[in-house]
Amino acid sequence: MPTRKTMGQNLFEKVWDAHAVRSLTNGQTQLLIGTHLIHEVTSPQAFGMLRDLGLKVKYPSRTFATVDHIVPTDQRVEPFSDPLADAMIRELRKNTDEFGVTYFDLATGKQGIVHVVGPEQGITQPGTTIACGDSHTATHGAFGAIAFGIGTTQVRDVLATQTIALGKLKVRRINVEGALSPGVYAKDVIMHIIAKLGAKGGIGYAYEYGGSLLESFSMEERMTVCNMSIEGGARCGYVNPDDKTFEYLRGRPYSPDGVDWDNAVEGWRSIASDDDCNYDDIVNIRAEEIAPTVTWGVSPDQAFSINGILPDPGTAASEAERLSIDEALDYMQLEPGAAIKGTKVDVAFLGSCTNGRLSDFREVAKYIKGHKVAAGVMAIAVPGSQIVDVLARKEGLHEVFIEAGFEWRGAGCSMCLAMNPDKLVGDQLCASSSNRNFKGRQGSPSGRTVLMSPVMVAAAAVSGVISDAREVFQVEQAST
C-alpha cells in the first residue's frame, strides 16, 4: 500500500467517503447508490427477485428507467414484430408502474440509450454515485460521478436498499497532455489508452482522466472517453467536474435550480480531486502521439494506428500472445504483416452510447456532404436518444446523412450488440463507432467488427474500405 504523504483526497475517495454507509462483515463497504438507472435487459429478473422476497423499491424516486437494447430502430410502433422484445418492453412497463419508478418510455420523447438519457435529463450529476446493470455506466463519470456497472442481483440490492456491497477501488490517474492532430478524436484517445494499458490493465482500478486535453474536451468528448473504461478493465472512469460540466447541466430537467443550483455548484466544485491528493498509479500520455485508431482483432486492446501493420504471431513475446494474435487474425480474416487499410467493409454503423450524441453526428455531417456511401455498403446512423434525433433533425443533419446514402434510424443501442433487428449477417465486416469488437458481438457468430471514430466510420462508408479519414476527406494537417 502506498503511504499517504499528503492531506488531499482525490474525487473517488471523496465521493466514496460521502456514500460509504458502514463496513460489512466480509470487509466490503455498504455503499449508498445515489442514482440508479435501469433498462429492460438486466432489470426484469431483479424485480422478480424483489417479488420473491416480498420487498418494495425502497426509494423509487432514485431509480430511472428507459428502454434501449431491444428497441427496433426502424419499427417504432408496438407490438414489435419480435415477440421476445415485445415481452421485454411490456415487462419493464409493468415493473416501473407497479413499483413507482420513473420510466422514459418511447411515448415520452425522452427514450434513448440509458447513458445518453441520464446526462441529457440532468440526472447525471457530479459527486454522486450512479449504478446501472450495464457495464458502460462509467460514461456518467464524465461529470465527476462515481458510476459503474453492476449485475442483476446487485440491481435487486439497489432497488431493495439503495445500496450495494462493494470493495474500494484503487485510482489510476491518466494524464493526456497536449492537443490532438486534426482528424483525431476522443474515441481515438480512449482506444489508444486501452491499447497501451491492456484490456485487463484496469482491473481493480477506477480511472481518473485528466490533463490539458481532457480539460479542453467538451462534455460529450469526455463521455466518449469515460464510456470505454470497462474495455480497459476499469469498472469506473471519471473526469473532475469544472465549469464546462456545470454549464452542460444548467437548466436541464433534473438539474437543481435557483438557490439550489448555486449551492449544488459550490458542492460540485469541492469534490474535484485536490492538487495534493494521492493516486495509486499515474500514467502520462502525449496527445500528439495519438493517431486515428482502429481495432484489428477481437479484444478492444487489439488496436493500432490506421497506418499500422498487422502483427505476426511468429514474433509474439509469449505463447499466450501468439495464440491471441493467431485467433484474432484468423477470426478477422486478416493476414500478418499486411495493412488493415483497404480491407473491404460491408456495414458502417454510426451510433451507440460511445458515439451516438449530437456532436458525433454534427462532426460527421461536416465531412460527408458531397460524398456517397459506396456501392455494397449498408450504412446506418442511429441517434443515441429521441432528443438527439429531434435536435439533429432541427439542424437538418438527418438530411445530410440520407443524402449521402445513410439510413437515419430511431434511437436505441442498435448494432452495438444486436439484441434488436440491426445485426450483421454471416462474416460481414462492420466499421463501427461502438465499443466492443468481441467475436459475434454484432449479432452474427462470425460477424467482424472494426472499432473506430465516427468520422473514420464515415470514411469507410464512402470509400467501401477501411480508410484513413484524413485522406478520404482531405483533412488539413497542421504544418510541422
Angle 144-150-156 (CA atoms, 0-180°, nearest 5)?
Answer: 120
- Is 441 a binder of another protein (CB under 8 A)? yes
In the chain, what is the straight-line distance between the N-terminal and C-terminal CA atoms, in Å? 44
Which x/- pattern, by CB under 8 A, does the window 184-203 give for another protein?
Answer: ---------------xx--x
Task: Give the rounded distance of the alpha carbon of 344 from its chain centre.
Answer: 26
Q: Does 54 bind another protein (CB under 8 A)?
A: no
Q: Is 260 in the site for another protein (CB under 8 A)?
A: yes
Q: Which value, to the nearest 10 degrees, does the dihedral of the CA atoms of residues 375, 377, 378, 379 take? A: -100
291 scored as a contact of another protein (CB under 8 A): no
Residue 460 Cβ vs another protein, minimum distance, rounded to whole Å: 23
**Region from 29-37, 338-346, 347-355, 367-375 binding another protein, contact rule CB under 8 A:** 29-37
- Asked if residue 270 binds another protein (CB under 8 A), the reply is no
Least distance (Å) from another protein to the CB of residue 480? 37
135 lies in the binding site for another protein (CB under 8 A): yes
Q: Is 322 exposed, middle or buried (0-12, 13-18, 19+ CB in 10 A)?
A: middle
Nearer to another protein, 36 or 470 (CB): 36
**Contact (Cβ atoms closer than 8 angstroms) between residue 402 and residue 371:** no
Is the torsion defined by CA of 35, 40, 45, 48 positive or negative? Answer: positive
Asked whether position 144 contacts another protein by CB under 8 A, the answer is no
Per rule CB under 8 A, is residue 440 in the interface with another protein? yes
Residues 453-472 that bind another protein (CB under 8 A): none
Pick from 111, 273, 324, 354 the residue near another protein by CB under 8 A. Answer: 324
User: Is position 51 an interface residue for another protein (rule: CB under 8 A)?
Assistant: no
- Residue 8 or 198: the one with the smaller Cβ distance to another protein is 198
| Contact letters for another protein, residues 167-186 (x by CB under 8 A) | x-------------------
Rounded least distance, CB 193 to another protein, Å: 16
Residue among 164 and 191 whose Cβ is closer to another protein: 164
Cβ 422 to another protein shortest distance, Å: 12
By CB under 8 A, is residue 154 in contact with another protein? Answer: yes
Closest CA to 269 of 305, 236, 237, 243: 243
H or E segment and range at residue 164: strand 163-166
Residue for cell digits 485510482?
A: 171
For the residues of 374-426, what is the DSSP string, one character each?
A: PTT-EEEE--SBHHHHHHHHHTTHHHHHHHHTPEE--SS-GGGT-SSS----T
Asked whether position 53 contacts another protein by CB under 8 A, the answer is: yes
Query: C-alpha grid cell for residue 357?
Result: 450524441
> What is the Cα–Cα distance from 401 to 403, expressed in whole angstroms?
5
62 binding another protein? (CB under 8 A): yes
